[in-house]
Structures are given as structure tokens and as C-alpha cells.
Structure 1
Amino acid sequence: MLDIERLQAALASAPAAGLVEALAGELVAQGAATGVRLLLVDYRLTTLLPLDGPGTDRPAATDRQSDGAAWRCFDGQAAVSDRDTVWVPVTARGERFGVLSLTPTAGWDERLLDLGRLLAHELAAARPTTDRYVIGSRSRRLTLAAEMQWEMLPGRACSGPQFALAGQLEPAYAVKGDTFDWAAGTDRLTLSVLDGMGEGVDAASLSLLATSALRNARRAGLGIADQAMMADSALYAQYGGARHVSLLLAEIDLRTGQLSMVDTGSPLLLLSRGDDLIILEPDRLEPIGMFDGSRYAAQAYQLHPGDRLVIVSDGVHLAELAGRRYGDADLRRLVRRSRPMAPLDVVRTLVGDLRVFVSGELDDDAAAVCLDWFGTAGPDVQ
């Protein structure tokens, strides 16, 4: 039987960059497991990368084409046993870091799942103080603009009793001005999808300024209409109307399911409810930063338990090949086909489908966000 308290203490006292080694050492000391390895999912959600110490040769990655135990564990979010090895999901509050593989010395123990959750929480706490796990998640170098965007993200997935939420940027290693942000409080969930005009670092800088202004206003207790006006003022003061950001800013009352939105541009919002797929079209207002003193107002909708929202930037719905746009029919088919999937799997499948549609890399960058609304009686989340 695993002594989880001892494992927790070992991880809590370990240096930020030494979590896996501390975990492996404690498991061996307890006579519980050997061969401990952490595989981190890459930025594109297509590869599981083994984490190894400095100076070692990195083993081959496990890509999406291989139907191995590691991917069954990651996709199904459940422990998988393959011969002598057990794979455990490393996930905290919906954020999937990867999977842990180990060889139990005394047979299967149900508390191995606790082990994966424990490691995930420690990774979340350690990541801001070490580059080891960030570097370990990369299959190649990011552009500077992409580095800026990924560092600003709140994560790639988040969940609570009432909702599950995930987002993805593409091209993951070279994204420019498209980004997203969210924050979950005790009674509110705030979500934004942004598209900063321009290319490269200029576009990333614009989106980061807008995101920071929105966060500053939100943390001051302002409503979403005032948040949009504060961001508009910040961008106009910096650029004088020469640069702007398209924004969909949404807030969900976690007690009632009321959805309030401010829409200033390119993001497209699809609502999947039962067998229906509806495009929500709130009044389109001026992009933030375009004019001095723009005024914004929120529009309200009511979410029902079981609803799914899919929000995509114009890099998704306006992507074109041979005169045909992805958003005309392909996007709707994908949203319907992916209905049984979890939100992270939806955005992963969506950007993969989009790459197939354009036969390679995107000409424009793209952001995709998926939110499932369970209602006030939703599932518990670890």
C-alpha cells in the first residue's frame, strides 16, 4: 500500500526542478515501484515527450499516430496497464500535463491515481520557478511571439463543478496575435478570445497589452463592459487608434448559467445544444483601441445544462483553400462530430482537422476555445 502522505512530503520538500527524481526515490524507498518516467504533452498536443535530466540522450517521443498505452492513458484520463508498466494521467483541475509511467513492485494499487494528481499539482506550483518542464514540453523552438503568447496564457484547460474549459493556439510554435484568457472565481467565470492585428511580435505585444488591461480591470471588480472600455482606453493611449484588437469577452454566472458577452470583432461563437447547432450573434461593436472613448454594452443569454460553446478566431472560420472556407461547413461538421469528446480533445481535434483542410501549416494564426456547461449540479473535479 502506497504511503501517499510520505510521497506528498517528499515532493513538497524537493527542489522545483527535481520533482520526478524525488518521486522516484520515494517510490523505491517504499518498495512500491521502479522505472518511473514522466512524459509531457507538447505544445501542439500531438506528442508525448519523455522528461530526462540535463546531459542525457532524450528517448524517442510518442506521437499521436502510435496507438500506445501512453496515449490511451492521456486520451481516456484513466490508468492503463500494459504488461509490467502502469500509465497514470498527470492532471490537475482539468489541466493535462502528460502521463506518468512506472513499474509497480507489489501489483496494482488504486492509489496510483492519487499519485498522478499529486504530481500534477506539484508541477503546477513548480513551473513558474523552473524552465525544466517548459523545455520538456517542446518538440522544437518557439518563435519569440509564440513564447510571449504561451507565457501569458492561464493554462490550456480548466474545470470546476459547473464547467469544463479548454483552449488551443495554432500554429502552436509560431502563433502571433491570437490568444485567449480565463479566470474562474467562486461565482463567475470570465473568458476572452482575442485577435491582435499585425504580425509577429507586434501582434503578440498588442494582444498581451489588451489581456493585461482586461485582467487589471477584472481584478478591480469591474463588469465586462467596463473591462472592455478599460482595455480600449489602454490600447488607444498606446497606439492612438493605429492598432486594434478584435475581442469576444464573456462572463458566466456560475450560480445561474447566465452568459453575458461583449463582441468587438472576429471570434465566431457556436452553441451546441442537444441536436441543434446555433451561431450566437451578439451585436458587433467597435474593436478595442480603434477609437477614442468607445462605449461597450453586454448582451445576455441563458445557458442550459449540457450546452457546449465553441469559440474560434478568424484564423479558424475564415481559413480558406481553393475558394472554400473552413467555417462554411467543415467547422460545423467538426463541432457535431466531436460532441462526445472532452473540451481539450475538441480543440485538439479541431486544429488537427484545420491543418488537414489547409494541407499543412496555417497562413494565419488561430485560437480555439471549447466550454462545456454542466449546470450547478455538475461533476466533482480533482
Structure 2
Amino acid sequence: MERVDDRLTVARRTLAEAPADQVTERLADVLAKEYAVTGVELYQVDYRLAALLPLHGGATVTRPGDPAWRAFDHQAEVLAGRAVFLPVTVRGERLGVLRCSPAPDDAGLRAELAQIAEFLAHELQTARAGTDRYTVAARTRRLTLAAEMQWELLPGRSRTGPAFSLAGQLEPAYAVRGDSFDWAEQDGCLFMTVLNGMGDGTQAALLTTLATQALRNARRAGLELADQAGLADQAVYSQHRGDAYVNALMLELDLGTGVVRAVDAGSPRVFVLRDGSVIAESLDEGLPLGMFESSDYDTQTFQLVPGDRLFVVSDGIMEAAGEAGAYGDLALTRFIRRTGSLEPLQAVRSLLGDLRAFVSGDLEDDSVVVCVDWNPPAA
């Protein structure tokens, strides 16, 4: 046991002390010395959730059945030939996969490598604040300026806690404009917001950024949900005087009781998957944030039961156009019904893959989808 602790301590210390842009190289040195692993590669998931990109160059992994994708999707070790693939994940945020070869024959040593992959995930999140290397390597092409702003605004793309797991995605990933989402967990509640700033390009991104930061400011000041909407409404109006506005849906999930408090200020839709059936939650729609000088917002409630899955989608999902017309409610509810066995990030990725197949290419209109599972420990 002492030797195991020594190896893990050396790996953790090496990662913590490595220069921000040399984290994987320093880790490779440790793995070669301590585990006789001579081949190390980090595959990062790209912005579209469609490719795993090797940090050091080489072939991009896009085939769903590839061992790297299986490790990413199932969040488990995958042995393939002489290599082992391990998820690189921190608090549910899936960054990618670590490939190690030759894979140790001993299961205990592979379990240590899995722990080290988790250490790597923690360190990558820290290192990204000091270098662009990992951010740039996770792109298959250049982001537009508006998309750069939107992705930097996000709290992450997936998250897990004792009572929930969630995931979200923006499309078109490399050119998104006004759509965004936000979340935070505090005091037994999960706060979620889906937003859509009107307009195109950086105008829409700036508008959504203003609304997001205003809502965060109000939430962090301890204001009630309706008052958070009111403050953001005033912030957007004072800047644009009604010439620009933001559609938003704000949700507050009590992780102990499953009660959801909601403020609807625009177009995002809410669906609940429960025991194989899809329920479209009917909310009274209020005015978008910033449309008028003073707007009142009401808080509505609905109840989740343990095991429920919540989907929030923007109008870009519903209105995605294919040869047969718009994707629409029917196709969406049919697909949501099929996602019950998938983890939230898999469900989100599969939905967007289905949409791309429907439109025969990338989505053109801004779209956002957020998926949340509520599974309280007591259940």
C-alpha cells in the first residue's frame, strides 16, 4: 500500500509542479519510470462532441465504436490490444481520454492509472488558465469571435453531483452567436439558465454575456428567482433601451425535494422524460429580458420525481429544417424517449447527431440543449 501511495503522490506532485503547457509531457516521464508505460497520448473532445483530438498530433478519432470513444462514453477503462484508454474527467466534466501503452497486466496498476487520469483532469482545468495549448488543441477549426465569447462564458459542458448529473451543448459549435446556458450548485439547489440573445455575431454574444453576468450577479447577491430576472431585465434595457433583448428560461431545482421553480422569459422549451413517457411542461411565457423599461416576472413551479430526466431546448432545435420540414415536437419527443439509457452528455450528443442527420449537415441556426437527471440519494 505504501508503494502505491508513493507512486500516486509522485504523479500528483509532478502534475502540480509542471509548467502549464508541459503537463502531459511531465506526466509521461512519470508513467515511464513508475509504470513502464512508454506511450502516452491525451485525446481531447472537440467543441462539437464529434471528435477526439490527439494533443501531440496524429489521427483524429471519430468512429463511435473506437476504444477511445467507448472509454469516453461509458466513463470506464477500455483495454484494446496493448493499450488502455482511461477517461479524463473532473466532477463530471469530460475533458477527454488518456491512452497508455503498453497497458499493465495487473488490474491494480491499471486502477492507479485511472486515478492518475483523474489527477490529470484536475490539473488540466487549472493549467488552461495559464496556457492556450489545450484549448487550441481541442478545436478542429477556428472559432468565430462570437463563438469564442460564448464558450468562454460557459461554466462547463457536463457536471455530476450526489443528486444530479447534467450536460449542455451549443450549436453550431464553431459559430454559435446568441445561445448559451449557465448553471451553479449551491445550498442544496441547482440553478440553470438557458438564454438566447437576439441578433447576429458579436452583437448577440455581447447581449447574452450581459444578461448572463447580470443574472449571476443577482443570484450571488441572494435574490429570489423572479428578482434575478428583474435585475437582468433592467440591465439589458438600460444598455439597449428596448432595441435588443434576450429570451431566457431560469430554473431552480431543489435537489432534496425535486421541486422546480421557473421564470419563463422567452422561447426555451422544457420536456420531462418519466418512466418512458415525455411530458411537455407548460409554462406561462413572460416578456424577454430588456424588451421594456420595466417588466414583472412570476415564479412558477412543477414537480420532478426521482429518476426524471429534464430537457431544455431552444427554438433552434425545434425549427431545424430538413427536406421533410422542421424537426418539430414529434421528432424531438420521440428521440427524448429513446435516451433513457444514456448518460446526459451521451443523450445530448446523440440528439445533436440525430439533428445533423436530419438537416444533412451542421446546424445553421443557434441551438442549445441542456439535459439534467435528478437522482436523489434517498431514492
The normalised TM-score by structure 2 is 0.95
Aligned-partner Cα distance in 1 for 2:374–2:149: 30
Aligned-partner Cα distance in 1 for 2:103–2:316: 50
Aligned-partner Cα distance in 2 for 1:325–1:296: 31
Aligned to 1:19: 23
Aligned-partner Cα distance in 2 for 1:230–1:62: 45
Deviation of 1:283 after TM superposition, in Å, equals: 0.9
**Residues matched between the structures, number:** 372
User: Residue 328 of structure 1 aligns to a residue in which SS?
Assistant: helix
Q: Are the structure 2 counterparts of residues 323 and 290 from structure 1 closer, same or farther at C-alpha, using a change threshold of 3 Å?
A: farther
Deviation of 1:202 after TM superposition, in Å, equals: 0.7
Deviation of 1:43 after TM superposition, in Å, equals: 0.4
Deviation of 1:302 after TM superposition, in Å, equals: 1.6
Aligned-partner Cα distance in 2 for 1:282–1:49: 41
The one-character-per-residue Cα deviations of 1:308-352 (angstroms, maximum 9, x if unpaired) are 000100000122335632123111111011111000011111111
1:125-136 residue pairs with structure 2 within 5 A?
125-136=126-137
Aligned to 2:70: 72
The one-character-per-residue Cα deviations of 1:20-48 (angstroms, maximum 9, x if unpaired) are 11111111222442211101010001111
* Contact 2:270 2:313 (C-alpha < 8 Å) held by counterparts: yes
* Contact 2:146 2:205 (C-alpha < 8 Å) held by counterparts: yes
Q: Which amino acid aligns with 2:40?
A: V
Structure 1 gap segments, 5+ residues each: 53-57
Pairwise CA RMSD of aligned residues?
A: 1.4
The one-character-per-residue Cα deviations of 1:98-137 (angstroms, maximum 9, x if unpaired) are 0001124752322222111111111112212211110010
* Contact 1:72 1:80 (C-alpha < 8 Å) held by counterparts: yes
Matched, 1:4 2:3: no
* Percent of paired sites with the same residue: 51
> Which moved further from structure 2: 77-86 or 322-331?
322-331
The one-character-per-residue Cα deviations of 1:332-378 (angstroms, maximum 9, x if unpaired) are 11101111100001111111111111122223110000000002437
Q: Which amino acid aligns with 1:318?
A: E
* Contact 2:277 2:337 (C-alpha < 8 Å) held by counterparts: no
Matched, 1:61 2:60: yes
The one-character-per-residue Cα deviations of 1:227-246 (angstroms, maximum 9, x if unpaired) are 11110000000000011111
Q: Are the structure 2 counterparts of residues 322 and 70 from structure 1 closer, same or farther at C-alpha, using a change threshold of 3 Å?
A: closer
Aligned-partner Cα distance in 2 for 1:318–1:331: 11
Q: Are the structure 2 counterparts of residues 241 and 50 from structure 1 closer, same or farther at C-alpha, using a change threshold of 3 Å?
A: same
Aligned to 2:374: 373
Aligned-partner Cα distance in 2 for 1:226–1:129: 36
Q: Are the structure 2 counterparts of residues 31 and 164 from structure 1 closer, same or farther at C-alpha, using a change threshold of 3 Å?
A: closer
Q: Are the structure 2 counterparts of residues 308 and 105 from structure 1 closer, same or farther at C-alpha, using a change threshold of 3 Å?
A: closer
The one-character-per-residue Cα deviations of 1:125-154 (angstroms, maximum 9, x if unpaired) are 221221111001001000111000000000
Q: Are the structure 2 counterparts of residues 62 and 323 from structure 1 closer, same or farther at C-alpha, using a change threshold of 3 Å?
A: closer
The one-character-per-residue Cα deviations of 1:47-69 (angstroms, maximum 9, x if unpaired) are 110102xxxxx212111x35221
User: Residue 111 of structure 1 aligns to a residue in which SS?
Assistant: helix
Aligned to 2:50: 46
Aligned to 1:155: 156
1:219-230 residue pairs with structure 2 within 5 A?
219-230=220-231
Structure 2 gap segments, 5+ residues each: none
1:269-280 residue pairs with structure 2 within 5 A?
269-280=270-281
Aligned to 2:101: 103
Q: Are the structure 2 counterparts of residues 228 and 376 from structure 1 closer, same or farther at C-alpha, using a change threshold of 3 Å?
A: farther
> Which moved further from structure 2: 121-130 or 280-289?
121-130
User: Residue 25 of structure 2 aligns to a residue in which SS?
Assistant: helix
Aligned to 1:266: 267
